[in-house]
């Protein structure tokens, strides 16, 4: 299958040496990463990073363009100063509870049944999927093929090169509010920056933190940001399900803020420095102080008392995610379990609490699978999963678009896969 077809706004990078700039517009932070591909395979050079507190964004959606532009500008200036590169275009992540997904099936006749199915036939098929009736206020963001059916034969993942008269596809379609998408474009335009692509944040994060093996055996990624929690489910290396709900890290911060009677910045600091999502993860119940407001006495607190505020909310987030995954029908197909990422996954004991709720293995996901040079060590953190993933998603689509343009390379790729499979089988037999 060819993921470069799945986005309405795709514009691939021109060459492998091009600089890629990703922009993660979150409720709690704005993050910019400037990078380029190294000469070595699966290597990414991080040239510049900019991160600042987010303003004008609520639940992953821009609600005040002036404030959002100001935050974006600050993060961009940091990245530009660090890299020495002037940013001209960006790929941006999108999230929010306005995001919806649906399954549909599309069908086309093969243009020339006497010849092999081509990339153009697949393109026509997926274009047909975009014709589903939608309310005027919604716009398609992704069209993701699940599998293909050729003349009644189903379960086909790559139809290119096969013969047939009639081709169908089961398709996963992701849509968003047109106004939310327009406001992203407007914010970039005010900074004289061109938006080359908009990508669902959970898909971007998946590119950064999930391995091919995890995607093959079945895995659910839960990206817990500031304003939204995003879910992406993979099986057989195919994105099967996406979902978003608006209970996330900011709700944890608000619980601390109102529960202790402190200001927002204090609540956020306390959460990061002393917060635990699970009481059993506290090895030493230390006492810490929170400065009082307007001359009031400092608040003396222990980690266990703070955990009593944090744990119920984190448990709620995981229970919502668990129920969402059950509704998807894939809860029994997650051989690799759950991967948590996003800023809120950094809470101590988050993986332990999640494992109790889901009843399956849970790990914290950070950008991996690539060798990151330059400022690489800086981005090995869940808060950068979306920003790094946006860059990797762009590179992946460029490489795949080049592959379909060159039939010879397609054949080489298929032969390589066959050779790799034969080698594995031969090794297995020898070991027996």
Mean pLDDT value across residues 375-380: 90
Fold equal for 1-99+176-210+368-432 and 212-366: yes
The region, left, alpha or beta by phi > 0 then psi within -120 to 50, assigned to residue 2 is beta
* In the chain, % of residues over pLDDT 70: 88
| Nearest alpha-carbon partner for 308 in 330, 279, 336 | 279
In DSSP terms, 171 is beta-bridged to 104, 145
**pLDDT computed for residue 405 by the predictor:** 56
User: 225 — phi, psi (to 5°)?
Assistant: -95, -155
Angle 403-404-409 from CA coordinates, rounded to 5°? 45
| C-alpha dist (Å) from residue 113 to 27, 129, 158 | 51, 21, 17
**pLDDT computed for residue 260 by the predictor:** 93
Enter the DSSP assignment of 275: -
Output the CA torsion 24→65→55→10 (10° steps): 0
The fold adopted by the segment(s) 1-99+176-210+368-432 is: Nucleotidyltransferase; domain 5 (3.30.420)
Quick check: 197 and 173 in contact, CB under 8 A? no
The number of helix segments (H) and strand segments (E) in the chain equals 11, 19
pLDDT digits (tens, 9 = 90+) for 303-330: 999 999 999 999 999 999 999 999 999 9
Instruction: Say which residue, 407 or 174, is predicted with more confidence.
Output: 174
Q: What predicted TM-score, i.e. pTM, was given to this entire model?
A: 0.86
pLDDT digits (tens, 9 = 90+) for 8-64: 443 333 333 489 999 999 999 999 999 998 777 788 999 999 999 999 999 989 999
pLDDT digits (tens, 9 = 90+) for 343-363: 999 999 999 999 999 999 999
Decide which of 3.30.1490.110, 3.50.50.60, 3.40.50.10490, 3.40.50.280 is the CATH code for 100-175. Answer: 3.30.1490.110
The class of domain 212-366 in CATH terms is alpha beta
- Look up tokens 């363009």; give the residue: 65
Domain boundaries, the chain: 1-99+176-210+368-432, 100-175, 212-366
Structure tokens of 420? 């790799």
């Amino acid at each position: 299958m060819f993921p470069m077809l799945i986005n309405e706004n795709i514009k691939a990078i021109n060459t492998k040496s091009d600089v890629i700039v990703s922009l993660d517009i979150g409720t709690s932070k704005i993050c910019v990463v400037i990078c380029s591909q190294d000469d070595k395979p699966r290597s990414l050079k991080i040239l510049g990073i900019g991160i600042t507190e987010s303003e004008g964004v609520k639940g992953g959606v821009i609600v005040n363009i002036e404030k959002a532009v100001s935050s974006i500008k600050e993060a961009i200036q940091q990245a530009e100063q660090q890299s020495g590169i002037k940013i001209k275009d960006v790929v941006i992540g999108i999230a929010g509870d306005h995001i919806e997904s649906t399954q549909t099936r599309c069908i086309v006749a093969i243009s020339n049944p006497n010849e092999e199915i081509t990339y153009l036939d697949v393109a026509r098929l997926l274009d047909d999927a975009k014709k589903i009736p939608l309310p005027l206020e919604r716009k398609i963001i992704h069209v993701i093929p699940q599998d293909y059916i050729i003349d009644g034969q189903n379960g086909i993942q790559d139809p290119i090169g096969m013969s047939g008269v009639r081709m169908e596809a089961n398709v996963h379609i992701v849509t968003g509010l047109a106004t939310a998408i327009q406001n992203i474009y407007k914010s970039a335009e005010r900074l004289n920056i061109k938006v080359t692509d908009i990508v669902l944040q959970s898909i971007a994060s998946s590119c950064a933190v999930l391995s091919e093996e995890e995607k093959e055996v079945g895995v659910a990624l839960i990206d817990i940001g500031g304003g939204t929690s995003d879910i992406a489910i993979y099986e057989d290396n195919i994105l099967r399900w996406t979902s978003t709900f608006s209970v996330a890290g900011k709700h944890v911060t608000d619980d601390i803020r109102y529960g202790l009677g402190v200001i927002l910045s204090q609540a956020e600091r306390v959460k990061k420095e002393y917060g635990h999502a699970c009481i059993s993860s506290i090895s030493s119940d230390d006492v810490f102080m929170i400065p009082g407001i307007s001359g009031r006495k400092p608040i003396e607190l222990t980690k266990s008392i703070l955990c009593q505020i944090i744990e119920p909310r984190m448990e709620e987030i995981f229970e919502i995610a668990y129920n969402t995954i059950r509704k998807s029908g894939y809860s029994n197909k997650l051989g690799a379990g759950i991967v948590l990422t996003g800023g809120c996954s950094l809470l101590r004991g988050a993986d332990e609490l999640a494992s109790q709720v889901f009843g399956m293995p849970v790990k914290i996901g950070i950008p991996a699978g690539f060798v990151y040079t330059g400022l690489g060590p800086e981005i090995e953190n869940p808060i950068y999963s979306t920003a790094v993933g946006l860059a990797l998603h762009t590179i992946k689509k460029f490489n795949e678009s080049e592959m379909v343009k060159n039939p010879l390379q397609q054949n080489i790729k298929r032969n390589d896969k066959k050779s790799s499979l034969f080698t594995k089988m031969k090794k297995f037999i020898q070991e027996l």
